[in-house]
Amino acid sequence: ATGPAEMARAALESVGYQTRDLLEAMRADWGDSAEAALRVDGGMCASDWTMQFLTDITGAQVDRPSILETTALGAAWLAGHAAGLYPDQAGFAQMWQLDRSFMPQMSAAQRAQKYERWQRAVAAAQAV
């Protein structure tokens, strides 16, 4: 009974789980429990549903900028800066503006349960 909607949801959820995997690895390297907001960009972050799932599964605040395509903006800045048209890096960083913050709404228990199921699924896929 799996159709296109379920496949799309699974793909979007996998981004959240993979981001959590990355955060877990980074936290292990940091050696402390420092918490930080995730700043997102790109077309996918236009989806409120995806951003809410990301904040729910990671347990971290997710901040979406007013300009979603910051990679393109960064490339434009590099070219403009080289031509002397744009400010230095600090001035460019000050141009970042928040569109919306997403805060976790999922309980810690549900987050842990979902993430454990993700890890089991990944392990099962790797065993094949």
Q: What is the pLDDT of residue 34?
A: 67
Residue 16 belongs to a domain with what CATH number? Answer: 3.30.420.40
Does the pLDDT value for residue 119 go beyond 80? yes
Is residue 77 one of the residues assigned to a domain? Answer: no
**C-beta separation of 77 from 88 below 8 A:** no
3-state SS string for 88-100: CHHHHHCCCCEEE
Grouping H, G, I as helix, E, B as strand and the rest as coil, residue 38 is: strand
Q: 3 to each of 9, 49, 92, how far by Cα in Å?
A: 10, 19, 44
Is residue 43 one of the residues assigned to a domain? Answer: yes
How many domains does the chain contain in total? 1
pLDDT tens for 48-98 read: 999 999 999 999 999 999 999 988 888 988 998 899 888 788 888 888 899
Q: What is the pLDDT of residue 32?
A: 67
Nearest Cα neighbor of 20 from 123, 118, 109, 108 is 118
Domain that holds residue 25: 4-65+100-127
Is residue 107 one of the residues assigned to a domain? Answer: yes
Grouping H, G, I as helix, E, B as strand and the rest as coil, residue 42 is: coil
Is residue 49 one of the residues assigned to a domain? Answer: yes
pLDDT tens for 1-60 read: 899 999 999 999 999 999 999 999 988 888 766 677 899 999 999 999 999 999 999 999
Mean pLDDT of 103-125: 96
